[in-house]
Amino acid sequence: MKFSFYQTAVAAILCGLVSTLQAAPMVNVSARDIGGSVKGVKGPEAGVWVIAETTDLPTKFAKVVITDDQGRFLLPELPPANYQVWVRGYGLVDSAKVKAKPGQVLDLKAVQAPNAKAAAQYYPGMYWYSMIDIPKDSEFPGTGDKGNGIPPFMKKQYFWVDTVKNSCQSCHAFGSKGIRDVPSLFTKMGNGDSTLAWAHRTQAGQGMANMALGLGRLGPDRALSIFADWTDRIAKGEVPFDKPVRPQGIERNAVYTMWDWSSPKYYLHDVISTDKRNPTLNANGLIWGSPEESTDLVPILDPIKHTTTEIRMPFLDPKTHSSTDLPRGKSAYWGDEPIWDGHTSIHNLIWDQKENMWFAARIRQNANPDFCKEGSDHPSAKVMPVKESTRQLTMYDTKKKEWNLISTCFSTHHLYFARDKNDTLWTSAGSPANTVVGWLNTKMYLETKDEQKSQGWTPLVLDTNGNGKRDEYVEPNQPLDPQKDKRINAGFYAVQTSPLDDSIWGQSMDVGFSRIDQPGYLIRLNPGSDPSKTSLAEIYQSPEGTWGSRGIDIDSKGVAWTVLASGQIASFDRSKCKGPLNGPTAAEGKHCEEGWTLYRLPGPQFKNVKDPKGSADGAYYIWVDLYNTLGLGKDVPIASSSGGEALIAVVDGKLVTLRVPYPLGFFTKNVDGRIDDINAGWKGRAVWTTTGTRAPFHSGDGSKDMYPKVFKVQMRPDPLAN
């Protein structure tokens, strides 16, 4: 059968029309959505972010989504307001902002980056800080001030890298614009000498003592010259040697919602939305934050009303140290003003199931009361007396709006509830120098308010004689005795209770970068019937060539998860161990390498670090989604990627990178998951987090008006779901 030219042409047009309709169906936009498409010079732009922001609500509000493979987007469930909408993406520069209201369909124009330097301004920070010229492996051990400027206790290259990641990077998004650009104040103070400019920079603000500590470990003169060289090369136009890829696959299903809270002067350490053991608690309720050294004001967000409030935490001793007393130099942002005014050092917070909020917080000076010390009849003090604690506990009754201040003998840092009849609150101490693990029987405390009887603590003792029970032990600096157990000089930085059994897991930081040479461990504590006297610990080192564990969480199968500064997410499955878990061979923690599985973090490695197993990226902490609150599955671990400016999940053995692109310099320390409505699909589930950098003004465009933010992260079934 033959067709005329006319019939052939019509058929071709109809075929093309059908093909176009099939390729780009309409976006279903409701009265609460903004949707549409994004096109660039070459057509639809897939895997780019569309940002909508408004200041019409009681606090600034924004939502971010990602375009599908045909460049379409849908911003769902927007509160009524006037929005500015724009496009951001790798290979682009920000598009012009377009005014819009919910219910509108927009055709947005992406703007191609004119050059590599312009494009790189939107890369995650690790692509920039991977350009740092790390001292070569051959320079270690360091030869000191009269040699290569690296301290002799820096025995290996990874000690130096670990310090950059777990000291510098734990407080700032190190590669963000606010760090890689040196403020003009410091350039002037250094009279044009970049090393001197960095010296002034690291003496600025109320964090200068922490910066001095980190520089002391690295070797101040050498480290400052390395950082100066890095920022000089950037100022001259050097750009990262590697490039990120746009979000792929299920990464495009993410929805990021954010609110301003607290103050531009303050920083947040953590956020809480519910009880980890029961994520439906406090459904649609308030979000609470912990502002650590910056203030005694606890920020609170109402995500339904879009309002923020604060409550002030009290403390017992009027002589309690204030952060206004910290040494400080002139800030490029705040001048001589001491912007932090905290006494209570509110580090971590956790819900119980009675609507009480518990905090690791300072309520007094360090010296402990007599019941903690030698000569006391307290059961734990008889085993291990404790002279000082740097942070204690507080509890806020959200119904009665009353504070309880609890003087603990042990220091607190992180805290989590056990799944036992006493609602035991287990805590970490934070520092390897604080070598006991403490707990509070909250059931007893709430019934009696007796802080002495309700608390206890234990040293960490290994069963090195292998008889299955705790015996008399040798001290950390003493050799093994076949008739005795051994105490270790390690403290929990992180703590988590197991959903599988009664064990308590902790993680101790590497201290090889200081004058104490001790590796980091994962630590399993079996409390026994009388923990002060019966608890036994097991220690596990990560595989050879990895290092710098930070944070811990346990999945429902009892598998421990951590993140490594060597550039990996890691799991440890104790059930895979082939040899004995006690006895003399377990004293170093190297007896179960078969229990470990490593997942390399995305991104480049430092040029001078010849280790392909890890990334230049590092993560601050890790959290396991026991109840599928995010929607990626049960037992999915989520790492807080510091350099990747993202949350990174392990799903079926593959990494899913949830980059938060706005504001630039996203930096968080942990997440918390909540189910607001178990029957609402993706809309009823989310994980929550907050800006964690100590300098919010380093984020975004580097403005001192930049507020910390609360972030709500959700996963849709597809990029256009509403």
Fold of 5-120: Immunoglobulin-like (2.60.40)
Burial of residue 237 (number of CB atoms within 10 Å: 0-12, 13-18, 19+): exposed
Q: Do 110 and 45 contact (CB within 8 A), yes or no?
A: yes
Residues 6+ apart with CB under 8 A from 146: none
Rounded Cα distance between 521 and 209, Å, is: 27
Q: Do 59 and 307 contact (CB within 8 A), yes or no?
A: yes
Rounded Cα distance between 340 and 323, Å, is: 6
DSSP class of residue 56? S
Residues comprising the chain, all counted: 722
Q: Do 62 and 708 contact (CB within 8 A), yes or no?
A: no
Per-residue confidence (pLDDT) for residue 518, from 0 to 100? 74
Cβ neighbours around 285 below 10 Å, total: 17
Rounded Cα distance between 490 and 517, Å, is: 12
Per-residue confidence (pLDDT) for residue 507, from 0 to 100? 96
In the chain, which stretches have pLDDT less than 50? 1-24, 513, 515
Give the start-to-end residue ranges of the domains of the chain: 5-120, 125-235
Report pLDDT digits (tens) over 183-193.
999 999 999 99
Per-residue confidence (pLDDT) for residue 512, from 0 to 100? 58
Burial of residue 67 (number of CB atoms within 10 Å: 0-12, 13-18, 19+): buried
Q: Do 320 and 365 contact (CB within 8 A), yes or no?
A: yes
Alpha-helix residue ranges (DSSP H) falling in 342-450:
379-383, 442-448
Q: Quick one: which of 672, 693, 546, 566 has its CA closest to 617?
A: 566
Rounded Cα distance between 722 and 720, Å, is: 6
Residues 6+ apart with CB under 8 A from 293: 206, 323, 326, 340, 342, 345
The full 3-state SS of 625-668, as one line of letters, equals ECCCCCCCCCCEEEEEECCCCEEEEEECCEEEEEECCCCCCCCC
Per-residue confidence (pLDDT) for residue 173, from 0 to 100? 87
Q: Do 424 and 436 contact (CB within 8 A), yes or no?
A: no
Cα–Cα distance list, 333 to 264, 696, 707 (Å): 11, 11, 14
Q: Do 461 and 474 contact (CB within 8 A), yes or no?
A: no
Query: Is residue 216 helix, strand or coil?
Result: helix
Rounded Cα distance between 659 and 246, Å, is: 10
- CA 281 to chain CA centroid, nearest Å: 23
Rounded Cα distance between 196 and 168, Å, is: 18
Q: Torsions phi, psi of 447, nearest 5?
A: -80, -35
DSSP class of residue 61? E
Q: Do 140 and 154 contact (CB within 8 A), yes or no?
A: yes
Q: What angle separates helix 194-201 from helix 220-235, to the nearest 10 degrees?
A: 110
495-501-503-507 Cα dihedral, nearest 10 degrees? -40
Per-residue confidence (pLDDT) for residue 26, from 0 to 100? 83
Handedness of CA 587, 592, 597, 601 (dihedral sign): positive
End-to-end distance of the chain based on CA atoms, in angstroms? 48
Burial of residue 42 (number of CB atoms within 10 Å: 0-12, 13-18, 19+): exposed
Maximal CA-CA distance, the chain = 107
Report pLDDT digits (tens) over 1-32.
443 433 434 444 334 333 333 334 689 999 99
Task: Tell me the HSE value of 411 on the side-chain side, using a 13 A CA sphere.
Answer: 22
Cα–Cα distance list, 705 to 37, 105, 173 (Å): 32, 32, 18
Q: Which residue has the tokens 């992406």?
A: 110
Which helix (H) or strand (E) element contains residue 230? Answer: helix 220-235
Q: Which residue has the tokens 């003087």?
A: 407
pTM of the predicted protein model: 0.95
Q: Quick one: which of 588, 425, 564 has its CA closest to 507?
A: 564
